[in-house]
Amino acid sequence: MMKIKGLVFDFDGLILDTETGEVKIWEKILQQFGLVLPMDQYLQYVGHATDNQFVQNILHDLGLTDAQIQSALIEYENLFSTSDFFKTPREGIREFIQSGKGNGFNLGIASNSYSDWVIGHLQNLDLEQFFNPICTREAVSNSKPDPELYNLVLRKWNFLPQEVLAFEDSPNGILAAKNAGIFCIAVPNPLTANMDNSAADLLFNSFTEMDLHQITHGLKK
């Protein structure tokens, strides 16, 4: 394998665990209606570019009226904006990012979310300065699992797939990286740990378990 020059990260669920936080909020809201979030249905959309329309469809399927759905959406926005859950990155990710940058790797983002969302959260976490490029869904025609986002990062760096590692947290993102020919390391969050992440080349429970030097050194053997 060629020398690793770049590290490409997904954002939602990997750097900031918005996915688990969103589920907790929806569970809290649905409790008020005496309802339970159907996780099997919800998990089908995790990691996809959905604009959360699927959540409205779930609420409708659960029997909520249009007025109740609108009320639930407003409450969701209020809870999301005030929750501490979205103010702290995943354990070990900040140190991992700093280690990667400090060791001379290029760091990039490939996310199915919009740039305002990703860059806004990265700025709030004081992490934006580590990443270039930050490639998001409006920059491509096809979202993950299509490899277009990863291919865009490769073009901007002028790197080969064999010179890059991808970090993802869910099957959809893993497939996108693999479709681009990139070695993919999965670090599932509590929500996506229940999904089939077996297509990843390596899997860790947390960034605290990883040693970047050992990984890159091992791949060169």
Catalytic residues: 10, 12
Q: Do 191 and 39 form a contact (C-beta atoms < 8 A)?
A: no
Give the H/E segment covering residue 98. Answer: helix 93-102
Look up residue 111 and give its two tokens.
């996310």
Q: Do 204 and 221 form a contact (C-beta atoms < 8 A)?
A: no
Q: Angle between the 66-82 and 18-31 helix axes, to the nearest 10 degrees?
A: 130
Q: Do 56 and 107 form a contact (C-beta atoms < 8 A)?
A: no
Neighbours of 12 (CB within 10 A): 23
Burial of 14 from C-beta contacts in 10 A (0-12 / 13-18 / 19+): buried
